[in-house]
């Protein structure tokens, strides 16, 4: 079972991603969008971790942000 992060923790993780990875969050969101067609949240997190060597928290924050933005586009 995955951990649930507060909104504040999520925002803090997102703000540290560029410093820790050398890439902007928008680049990571594009990577998820252009990546394999995985449906489950944890599959996407595992793919980012394995393919791009990301820490679990960063991968989870990226996928969560991707899902939030995708849902907002559908409204």
Per residue of the chain (75 residues), give pLDDT as tens: 456 678 999 999 999 999 999 999 999 999 999 999 999 999 999 999 999 999 999 999 999 999 999 999 886
Helices 41-52 and 25-34: angle between axes, nearest 10 degrees: 110
Helix axes 41-52, 56-74, angle to 10 degrees: 130
pLDDT attached to residue 37: 94
pLDDT of 53 reads 96
Token pair listed for 11: 């925002």
pTM (whole model) above 0.95: no
Q: Give residue 69's pLDDT.
A: 94
Query: What's the pLDDT score for residue 1?
Result: 40
Instruction: In whole angstroms, give the CA distance from residue 38 to residue 46.
Output: 10
């Amino acid at each position: 079972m995955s951990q649930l992060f507060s909104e504040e923790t999520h925002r803090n993780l997102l703000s540290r991603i560029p410093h820790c990875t050398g890439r902007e969050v928008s680049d990571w969101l594009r990577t998820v969008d252009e990546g394999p067609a995985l449906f489950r949240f944890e599959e996407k997190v595992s793919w980012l971790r394995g393919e791009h060597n990301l820490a679990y928290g960063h991968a989870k924050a990226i996928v969560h942000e991707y899902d939030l933005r995708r849902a907002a586009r559908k409204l």
